[in-house]
Structures are given as structure tokens and as C-alpha cells.
A and B are shown apart, each in its own frame.
Chain A
């Protein structure tokens, strides 16, 4: 995936847990990275492998992608520029899987951050709920909001660091009226998909999040004005 990964476990944990998790992440990357010449997704894009003959994980991803595409009226779509690029969906899915693996191993207090999308559980080493900063889209070294979350996910879509890697699938225009859109909710996979889809809608994206039960959003426009959904302030750290 080429994304930076940060895993912090507040419970006592041996090194091998980290090794296992990172090993899993590398495995997923080999399968889903469109930048790898022999990844499963590249083979599919080159027509050398049919989706129906692909691995269970790959089929799951394509099925999830289709569900999300319909749920968001096409604003979430992994097919563009003639290729499938499921990385927007894989990221949330992988983070969710890591969180489940850790929960299965009886860890209660951790977070996993993959490329700025985060799943959290429990509390930090100081015994306080995890605090999450929302990055300033105009200054990567600063944060502009602090939210606190016990269990769930925070996902941010933006185009300010990796260039315009999100565009509107409805009209192929690059998104430039909003700089970032953060979604908070009980499930990182859902939050990630919704953040991606909402970002593609431009300024209407925050209304899309407002209409979702259980998910809140914080949208920053190109002028530095933030719009938040009506339940967002419950997450803000005072």
C-alpha cells in the first residue's frame, strides 16, 4: 500500500505481536498494491486473472466495493482510469482486520494508524481515552482539532499531501473546493469508505455524513473554514 503504519499497544505486548501484524500488512500489500508488478490486483488489471478466480480476500474486496458503490450512488468507486484501484477500501478493511486480530489476542488498549486512518480501542498508557488530532490540511506539522474516541475509527480524506489522488468519479474533476474531510464512527472500514465517498462530493459531502446514523464529520474547505455535522462536538476534546 505504500502507507506509513503506526501501531501502539498500551497493554503489555511482546515484539512478536508487532511482527505478526506487520507481516500481515506486508501480505495484504503484496496482494492489493497496484504499484507492484505481480500483485494480485495488477494481474487482474492486466487481464491475466479473472476476479472470479482470485483469492477469497480479493473477492471480498470486490464485493464490498460494489456494495459501497451502490450505497454512495457511485461516489465511491474503485474503478477509474481504466483500472481497479481498491486501495481506498483496502486501507479501512485492513485496519479493521488488524483491530480484530488484536482484540482476538485479548488486547483491549491500542490504536492502529495506517496512512492517517485510525482504529482505536480502550485507553492509552496514561489510562486516558486516545486523543486524535486532525491534521491542518495547509500545514502538515500542525493540528486544528482534537477528538477523543474510546472505540471506533477516524478516517480523513484529503488531497494536500499526496497530490490530487482523489477525484470526483461522476465527472472526473479533481476535488479542490474542500481540503479535507474527517469521519468518526464506530467502524473504521465504514468511516474510511464514507470519508472517501463524501470527499468526492465536494462541499455536499458533509451533508452526506450528516444523513448517516452514527457517523460524524468535520470538513475543511479550501479557505480554512470547517463545517461539522450536528453530533460532531460530542467527540471534541475539551
Chain B
């Protein structure tokens, strides 16, 4: 479970670095509303070409995460810089896989113990003192005789 979390976080972090690299002139990134790529896939500039020229707006990239299915990431660009990265879509089966793996126990009810004043027929607990035993035994025998 922990390994899956670390792995998936690593994938997402790796993607963020990847996305940032792409914006500086790597592979294709689709801008919402545009059908043409922002940069040419063949371009690999030595100096990031669009770092200061990124148009404000938001960009999405689909990442195939082998563990949890497709995750969609939204990068928000403002003033030529990436100001925010949001995860747009968690596939529903991701929630399921978390639930299956968490081995969640039902939450059991709790309470602070409180002294009860009710009379009871008998008491369950780790061994009673011998004095109590003798008294109770006598009383039980008396009852049985009556």
C-alpha cells in the first residue's frame, strides 16, 4: 500500500517535471481550445524557448498511469510562468483500489467507562478476591436450599 502511494506520487512528480520540461520546448502539449500543438515535437531547443513566452491560460496533458489508469493534469500559466498544477481527473477505479488496499476496519464505537450503580446477578472480570467468592458461594448455596 505504501509502495503504491510512493510509486504513484513519484509518477505524478515525474510528470510535473516532464510537463515543465515540455513547456520549455519539448514534446507536444495541447492547449484547450486549440488543435495545433504549442511547440513542434521535433524541437529541442538548448534554451527553453517559451519560458517567458507562455501564453496565459491552461494546458492539459494526459498521463497514462499504469497503476491507477489515466490521470489528467491541468497546468495553469500566468505571467508566462506555471503558477499552478491541478489534477483534474481521478479515475473512479483509483478510489476502489485505495479502498481495497487500505484494509479499512469499520470504525468501532467508543465510550469512556462509567461506574454503573445497577445491581447485577454476577460479575465478569479477572479473578475476584477470595472474600467475595466465599460470600457469594454461601449466598448461592442458601438460595439453592430455600
Give A residues with C-beta under 8 Å from B.
Answer: 3-10, 13-15, 17-18, 111, 113, 115-118, 124-125, 130-137, 139-140, 142-146, 154-162, 180, 182, 206-207, 210, 220, 224-230, 233, 237
Q: Give the distance to chain A from B114, nearest Cβ to Cβ, in Å.
A: 6
Cβ A8 vs Cβ B122 within 8 A: yes
Cβ A118 vs Cβ B122 within 8 A: yes
User: In the complex, which residues of chain B have a beta carbon less than 8 angstroms from the beta carbon of A233?
Assistant: 109
User: In the complex, which residues of chain B have a beta carbon less than 8 angstroms from the beta carbon of A207?
Assistant: 105, 108
User: In the complex, which residues of chain A have a beta carbon less than 8 angstroms from the beta carbon of B129?
Assistant: 4, 140, 161
Q: Give the distance to chain B from A211, nearest Cβ to Cβ, in Å.
A: 9
How long is the Cα–Cα vector from A233 to B115 in the complex, in angstroms? 17
Number of interface residues of B (CB under 8 A): 33
B141 at the interface (CB under 8 A from A): yes
- The total of interchain contacts (Cβ-Cβ below 8 angstroms) comes to 152
How long is the Cα–Cα vector from A13 to B141 in the complex, in angstroms? 10
Cβ A111 vs Cβ B121 within 8 A: yes
User: In the complex, which residues of chain A have a beta carbon less than 8 angstroms from the beta carbon of B133?
Assistant: 4-6
Cβ B122 vs Cβ A113 within 8 A: yes
How long is the Cα–Cα vector from A132 to B109 in the complex, in angstroms? 21
Cβ A230 vs Cβ B106 within 8 A: yes
Given known contacts A6-B133, A8-B143, A135 and B125 CB-to-CB distance under 8 angstroms: yes
How long is the Cα–Cα vector from A237 to B112 in the complex, in angstroms? 17
B42 at the interface (CB under 8 A from A): no
The interface residues of chain A, by DSSP majority, are classed as strand
User: In the complex, which residues of chain B have a beta carbon less than 8 angstroms from the beta carbon of A158?
Assistant: 125-126
Cβ B121 vs Cβ A159 within 8 A: no
How long is the Cα–Cα vector from A48 to B141 in the complex, in angstroms? 40
* CB<8 Å pairs between A and B, sample of 13: A9-B144, A116-B126, A118-B122, A132-B123, A133-B122, A133-B124, A135-B124, A136-B115, A144-B114, A155-B124, A226-B113, A229-B108, A230-B108
How long is the Cα–Cα vector from A9 to B145 in the complex, in angstroms? 10
B2 at the interface (CB under 8 A from A): no
Given known contacts A145-B113, A210-B106, A7 and B123 CB-to-CB distance under 8 angstroms: no
> Can you name 16 extra interface pairs (CB under 8 A) apart from A4-B136, A162-B126, A162-B127?
A15-B144, A18-B141, A111-B121, A113-B124, A115-B127, A116-B124, A131-B119, A132-B121, A134-B125, A136-B115, A137-B126, A142-B116, A144-B115, A146-B120, A156-B126, A227-B108
B137 at the interface (CB under 8 A from A): yes
B34 at the interface (CB under 8 A from A): no
Q: Give the distance to chain A from B26, nearest Cβ to Cβ, in Å.
A: 50
B132 at the interface (CB under 8 A from A): yes
Q: Give the distance to chain B from A92, nearest Cβ to Cβ, in Å.
A: 13
Q: Which of B29-46 contact A (CB under 8 A)?
A: none
Most buried by A among B105, B118, B128, B130: B128
B100 at the interface (CB under 8 A from A): no
The list of the 9 closest CB pairs from A to B, nearest first, reads A135-B125, A4-B133, A158-B126, A133-B120, A144-B113, A8-B140, A131-B120, A133-B123, A115-B127
Cβ B144 vs Cβ A8 within 8 A: yes
